[in-house]
Amino acid sequence: MKLNRRTLIGAVSATAMLAFGGTAMAQDYPTKRITIIVPYSAGGATDILARQVADGLSQVLDETVTVENRPGAGATLGTTQAANARPDGYTLFMGQVSSHGIAPAVYKNLQYDPVEDFAPVKLIMSIPNVMVVNKDSPYQTAQEFLEAAKSENMTFGSSGVGSSIHLSGEMFKARTGADMTHVPFRGSGEAVPALLSGDVDVMFDNLPSAMPHIQSGALRALAVTTPERSEQLGDVPTLDELDIAELDDFAARSWFGILAPAGTDDAVVATLSEALDEVITSDSFKKFADTRGASIEGGSPEDFAKYIESELSSWKTVVDEAGVTVE
Amino acid sequence: MLENIATGFEMFFTLGNLLAITAGVCLGVTVGAIPGLTATMAVALALPFTFNLDPVTGILLLVGVYKGGVFGGSITAILIRAPGTPAAACTLLDGYPLAQKGQAGKALNMALYASCIADFLSNLSLIFFASLIAGLALAFGPPEYFWLICFSLTVVISISGSSLTKGLISGLLGLLTSTIGLDLVYGTQRFTFDNFNLMGGVSYIPLLIGLFALPEVIDFYVRKVAPFTVKTADKSRVSLAELKSSLVTIIRGSFIGVIIGTIPGAGATAAAFLSYGEARRTSKSPETFGKGNIEGVAASEAGNNGVAGATLIPLLALGIPGDVVTAVILGAFMLQGLTPGPLMFQDNITIIYAIFIGIMLSSVVLLGSGKLAIRYFARIADIPRHILLPIVLMFCVFGSYAVQSQMFDVGVMLAFGVLGYIMMKIDMAAAPFLMGFILGPLFEDNLRRSFLISEDITIFFRSPICWIFIVITILSAFVGIRRELRATRAKRDALRSGSA
Amino acid sequence: MSDTRSDTDARRGRRREIIFAALTLLASAVFAFVVIPAGVTTPASVKHLPLSPAFLPYVLTAGVGLFALIHLLEAIFAAHIPGEDEASLGTHPRWKSRVLMLVGLLLIYLLLPDRLGMPLTAMLVTIALMAIGGERRPLILLGVGIGVPVLVYLFFAHVAQVPLPMGLFEDWM
């Protein structure tokens, strides 16, 4: 039924396209409004980034670029809709570690294929996750924490099942055999206060939401989860460089990138890729990334495609190790 | 300190800032008044405009939109029983009956006065007690939250309408509906039956619109005569005596709003209903609530606007966003290179003062633009019903679609519309259903989180805050049920003596 | 109003309450024994009872059943209190056909926007509903029925930035 309807709409719109001659020719792309689908509600980290990108993109392309929020089912709902959108370059998707890294490993019956259904355009930026504890916590280093966690139960907060924050914790737990209980919240905004008040012991939060509290001294950063140290937190070690064998090569980070539905004209993808390069190298975007402890990525569409493949396989490993799946 | 305030004043008094607040409030009132378009959406829409504005101007624009949106929601709640924002659902309980009596003007004006007074008080507490009550935000861990929600749920007793048992069933059904979707802790399916659209749960704006606005539309076509003849040129106003007698209610509602607003995540809807429940409980004539008592309008609007200023307390003092709107505002601060929290009070105190001054002014702007909006929106009441209701239905459909750009949500709205109509016919109050639906996730999440944090049941009694809420929950439930039972007995006695 | 009449009203009202309570009781039983086991997946690793995803649904269903039972007993044994609604206006003489028409129009709102586009669907339904409501002036029917949906569409699309479905007019815009 669903398929039938979609085919029907496709057929009707194809006829309409012929009739009205509104075919998107790559040469004069864009000629009308571009929409970026965000699979989260307005106001979240992904949404704010998308709006920043949309603002920059509309200046570079000289065409309105709007953000459309389609939240639900841990980002998978909006992603499915983006996968089924018409590949004419006028519907783009704000992909992130959840939709194109974790969800395919966690959800058993996903309605989209992260590789087959999308044409990657550009990796925009990435942010490290940071292992933080309350300032009054007795643990000064990740080693001390780990020692304690082997003998007594610890709780770790997250922004929800299947988030990179949750899975970083699961990865830590699975690798080290620490005794840790996952306490899910609905978004980082709810989880951080629980860490601040000491209700949960540790969190592998995204750096932007933890940063202000690290700066004010309310939270103590024990380690970052990326292979390299973060520029903003130069003196905080990575989990990899710690002298703990189980944590070697520990790498978990959140990233964001623009994708188009599969089948989008290569020339359109190239135009968008160039425009996005201009956006992310602008001063205002640099300032935007700096304030949230993010690093600007960039690279070609092919690089992004490879990156997604590597992310998919590494999260798959984590999920298998940790034994987290969702029906 | 004085010097800082003076610099703050200088920073604030620019034409741009005044314009930003005014434009923000007006945009907020308009968008908020449209069912389906919420204050949150309005703030997100205004966000890109702030990219190129001066920090103070940008933040004030967003704050203006937020405050306008919170009030705007009540306009359509009163006029057409379609709450523009979730928090306004409580306002319609008495606002719509007033409009049916031809006193839409009075209800709207009272909503505005209550909103402005509550807003002003909320702003004052933000400015003077921010550091004092910010600690409250962190004092609420999962167990404290759990008891707060239990207490809030006792309000269901007060809004049950004619039958207590039916009201309680309605509330339980609302709670049950809130469990639909992926489970928070395990991520397993609950009542989704593999339907992808339900994985994220039933979205509450379509539910809200369906439950309240649609039954009126359906009823119009099924009834013999139009339910109310339109009183043109509605000149009803709030008298000074009415305002005076509602003042206690408004002030109490404002403080409930401030407390609830300071605790992240509890939300304006809960505050509005709590304030309403309190007003009914302390009223000399509780039976008139729900049938067009002007104090009911004052209470719920005071409750929900009291939240507006107070949600900025945890944001500015601790850097914690209490709801989605403040999360967007936090984003706007960060875009400007400012980080709300204790450090901002040290490094950028003048900006904070400038924002405070602007926020104080926003209450006044709200009064002015609200008056203007009422004058035009009130004419909606003059449109003949057979023309108005098809348009209301159209807004319901468009608004439900707008939430997630999905036809599925239109279906959700229609389904709950039919449910709402059935509930109306069997005399079952819809407000408890909404209450249960909104508080359900908070109730369950915090219950389960408490168990995750500590396997020991004593965690539910760990702090004085827990005990305070346990005591007032029991008191509130006991007193409420006893009062309802007495009222029923009185009715029966009257009936018996009447027929004898 | 004679005594006998209010007696039959009371009896009818009481019967209605009994039916409602009995049906609710039945529904909660069906829910507890069929819907919850089928609709809620409980993982094997649940440590505490309250942590189970099925815990709250069971408690709530039990609550609904309990209150339905209380309501049933009350309706059977206590004196009936007439609700306000019972004294209200009666139904429209041709309410059955009107309900059918309304259901049809609501279904149109649900099914057609994907094909016809939201504005056109809104025009059709709005005009039809106004006509059912008794409006006969063509100027109002067409003016309001076409003008308002277009204006609201423009507001949603351009001010609120919510692109409503356009169906076959997608490329026209």
Q: Which residues of C touch A327 (CB under 8 A)?
A: 41
Domain end call among C70, C88, C106: C88
Residue A191 has pLDDT above 50, yes or no: yes
The answer to whether the Cβ–Cβ distance between B320 and A193 falls below 8 Å is yes
- The set of chains that have 3 or more CB pairs under 8 A with B is A, C
CA distance B19 to C166: 36
Q: Confidence class of residue A306 from pLDDT cuts 50, 70 and 90?
A: very high
Q: Supply the ipTM of this predicted assembly.
A: 0.89
- Indicate the average pLDDT of chain C: 83
Number of domains in chain C: 2
Q: What is the DSSP string of B406-429?
A: -HHHHHHHHHHHHHHHHHHHTT--
Residues contacting residue B2 through CB under 8 Å, at least 6 positions apart: none
| Two tokens, residue B459 | 């965690």
- CB A22 to CB C168 under 8 A? no
Are residues A192 and A47 located together in one domain of the fold? no
Start-to-end CA distance of chain C, whole Å, equals: 63
Quickly state the pLDDT bin for C44 (edges 50, 70, 90).
confident
- Chain A environment of B318 (Cβ under 8 Å): 193, 196, 218
Q: Are residues A15 and A116 in the same domain?
A: yes
Q: Which residue of C has its CA nearest to B219?
A: C91
Whether B191 sits inside 8 A of C39 (CB atoms) is yes
Model confidence at C2: pLDDT above 60: no
Beta-carbon separation of C35 and B191 below 8 A: yes
* Strand A154-158 to A180-184 pairing: parallel
Beta carbons of B182 and A111 less than 8 Å apart: no
CB contact (8 A) between residue C48 and residue B173: no
State the smallest CA–CA distance between residue A266 and chain B in angstroms. 28
What is the number of CB-based contacts under 8 A between chain A and chain C?
A: 30
| A208 within a domain of the structure (yes/no) | yes
Q: How near does any CA of chain C get to the CA of B194, in Å?
A: 9
Whether C108 shows a pLDDT value over 80: the answer reads yes
Chain B nearest-CA residue for A75: B200
* Residues of chain B with C-beta less than 8 angstroms from the C-beta of A91: none
Note whether residue C108 is domain-resident. Answer: yes
Calculate what percentage of chain C has a pLDDT beyond 90. Answer: 38
User: Are residues A27 and A174 part of one domain?
Assistant: no
B184, B194, B228, B393: best to mutate for the C interface, most C CBs within 10 A: B393
As a whole number, mean pLDDT of residues A85-96 equals: 89
Contacts 24+ apart (CB under 8 A), A303-307: A303/A123, A304/A120, A304/A121, A304/A122, A304/A123, A304/A257, A304/A259, A305/A115, A305/A120, A307/A123, A307/A255, A307/A257
Model confidence over B128-177: pLDDT tens digits?
Answer: 888 777 777 788 889 998 999 999 899 888 888 888 899 999 999 999 99
Residue C131 has pLDDT above 60, yes or no: yes
> B326, B329, B339, B444: best mutation site toward chain A, by most A Cβ within 10 Å?
B339
Cβ neighbourhood burial of A63 (10 Å; 0-12, 13-18, 19+): middle
- Put simply, the answer to whether C114 touches A5 (Cβ < 8 Å) is yes
Q: Is residue A308 part of a domain?
A: yes
Task: For A211, name the nearest residue in chain B, comparing CA atoms only.
Answer: B339
CB-CB neighbors (< 8 A) of A22 in chain C = 171-172
Instruction: Go through chain A and tell me how many residues it has.
Output: 327
Does residue C37 lie within any of the structural domains? yes
- B486 at C interface, C-beta within 8 A: no
What distance in Å separates residue C71's CA from the closest CA in chain B? 6
- Least confident range of A73-87, A203-217, B171-185, B434-448: A73-87
Residue C58 — very low, low, confident or very high, per pLDDT cuts 50/70/90?
Answer: very high
Given A247, A278, A293, which residue is the final one in a domain?
A247
CB contact under 8 A, C39 and B31: no
Q: Is residue C134 situated within a structural domain?
A: yes
Question: Residue A1: inside a domain, yes or no?
Answer: no
Selected for mutation to probe chain A from B37, B144, B183, B186 (highest A CB count within 10 Å) is: B186
The reply to whether residue C43 touches residue B188, judged by beta carbons under 8 angstroms, is yes
Hey, is the C-beta of B449 within 8 angstroms of any chain A C-beta? yes
In the beta sheet, which residues pair with residue A182?
A156
CB within 8 Å: A106 and B187: yes
CB-nearest to C171 from A16, A35, A68 is A16
State which residue of chain B sits closest to A326, comparing Cα positions: B187
Segment B86-119, tens digit of pLDDT? 888 899 999 999 988 888 889 999 999 999 999 9
What is the C-alpha to C-alpha distance for residues B346 and B322, in angstroms, rounded to an integer? 22
Cβ-nearest to C171 among A8, A9, A13: A13
The separation between the first and the last C-alpha atoms of chain B, rounded to the nearest angstrom, is 75
Q: Which residue of A has its CA nearest to C169?
A: A16
Same structural domain, C73 and C51: yes
Residue A4 belongs to a domain: no
Record: contact A5-C173, CB cut-off 8 A: no
pTM, entire model:
0.86
Q: Are residues A138 and A123 in the same domain?
A: no
Q: How many CB pairs below 8 A link A and B? A: 153
Q: Which of C40, C72, C88 is the last residue of a domain?
A: C88
Q: Tell if the CB–CB gap between A74 and B194 is shorter than 8 Å.
A: no
Does one domain contain both C99 and C39? no
pLDDT at B225 (0 to 100): 58
Q: Is the pLDDT of residue A61 over 90?
A: no
- Which among B407, B445, B449, B450 is the top mutation candidate for probing chain A, defined by the most A β-carbons within 10 Å of its own β-carbon? B449
Chains in touch with C (3+ beta-carbon pairs under 8 Å) read A, B
Q: Is the pLDDT of residue A327 over 60?
A: no
Measured between CB atoms, does B48 come within 8 Å of chain A?
yes
CA dist A140 and A138 (Å) reads 6
H helix intervals, C31-94: 36-39, 55-77
For residues A172 and A67, state if they share a domain.
Answer: no
The last residue of one of the domains, among C48, C67, C88, is C88
Whether the Cβ atoms of residue A288 and residue A51 lie closer than 8 Å to each other: no
Would you tell me which residues 221-280 of chain A have a C-beta closer than 8 angstroms to some C-beta of chain B?
none
Closest approach of C116 to chain A, Cα-based (Å): 10
Helix (H, G, I), strand (E, B) or coil at A5: helix
Please tell me the total count of domains within chain A: 2
CATH at A228:
3.40.190.10
Are C160 and B37 in contact, with CB atoms under 8 Å apart?
yes
- Nearest CB to C171 within list A9, A22, A67: A22
Token pair for residue B420?
A: 């709402």
Which residues are CB-contacts of C137 (< 8 A; sequence separation ≥ 6)? none
* CB pair distance less than 8 Å for B185 and A161: yes
Q: Please tell me whether residues A99 and A52 are part of one structural domain.
A: yes
Instruction: Give per-residue pLDDT as tens, A228-276.
Output: 888 888 889 988 888 787 787 788 888 999 999 998 888 899 999 999 9
Asked whether residue C8 falls in the same domain as residue C81, the answer is yes
For the segment A99-150, what is each residue's pLDDT rounded down to a tens digit?
A: 898 888 888 778 888 898 999 999 999 988 999 999 999 999 999 999 999 8
| Residue C172 falls inside a structural domain | no
For residues A48 and A114, state if they share a domain. yes
What pLDDT, on the 0 to 100 scale, is given for residue B30?
87
Is any Cβ of chain A less than 8 angstroms from the Cβ of B404? yes
Residue C172 reports pLDDT greater than 60: no
How far B283 CA sits from the closest chain A CA (Å)?
Answer: 36
Residues of chain A contacting residue B201, judged by C-beta atoms under 8 Å apart? 72
Residue C56 has a pLDDT of 92
Same domain flag for A119 and A135: no
Mean pLDDT for the stretch of residues A268-288: 89
The boundaries of the domain holding residue C78 are 2-88
Provide the pLDDT for residue C123: 93
Q: Which of C114, C163, C169 sits opposite A35 (nearest CB)?
A: C163
Angstrom CA distances, A211 to A190, A195, A221, A235, B73, stand at 15, 13, 9, 14, 35
Classify the phi-psi angles of C134: left when phi > 0, otherwise alpha if psi is within -120 to 50, otherwise beta: left
Q: What is the pLDDT of residue C170?
A: 64
For chain A, how are helix, strand and coil distributed in percent, rounded to 5?
45, 20, 35
Tell me, yes or no, whether C81 and C10 share the same domain: yes
CB A16 within 8 A of CB C170: yes
| C162 contacts in chain A (CB < 8 Å) | 68
Does residue A235 sit in the same domain as residue A93?
no
A269 and A121 in one domain?
A: yes
Q: Do A173 and A280 belong to one domain?
A: no
pLDDT at A19: 40
Q: How close does chain B come to A218, measured CA to CA in Å?
A: 9
Helix (H, G, I), strand (E, B) or coil at C158: helix
Domain that holds residue A211: 128-247
- Domain end point (choices A247, A264, A283): A247
Same domain, C112 and C156: yes
Domain identity same for C107 and C152:
yes
Residue C6 and residue C82 in one domain: yes
Are A120 and A133 contained in the same domain?
A: no
Of A13, A22, A327, the CB nearest to C168: A13
* Contact assignment for B385 to C50 by CB distance below 8 Å: no
Residue of B11 and B370 predicted with greater confidence: B370
Q: Which of B274, B270, B349, B259 is nearest to B309 (CA)?
A: B259
**B497 and chain C in contact, CB less than 8 A:** no
- Judge residue B225's burial from the number of C-beta atoms within 10 Å of its C-beta, 0-12 exposed, 13-18 middle, 19 or more buried: exposed
Contacts of C163 in chain A (CB under 8 A): 35, 66, 68
**CATH code assigned at A93:** 3.40.190.150
Which residue in C20, C41, C149 is closest to B394 by CB distance? C149
Kind of pairing between the strands at A154-158 and A219-224: unpaired
pLDDT of residue A15: 42
Q: Which of the listed residues A247, A271, A295 is the one where a domain comes to its end?
A: A247
Q: Determine whether the interchain pair C161/A66 forms a contact, defined as Cβ–Cβ distance below 8 Å.
A: yes
Q: Which range has the worst mean pLDDT, A91-95, B254-258, B319-323? A: B319-323
Q: Is residue C129 part of a domain?
A: yes
> What percent of chain C shows pLDDT beyond 70?
86
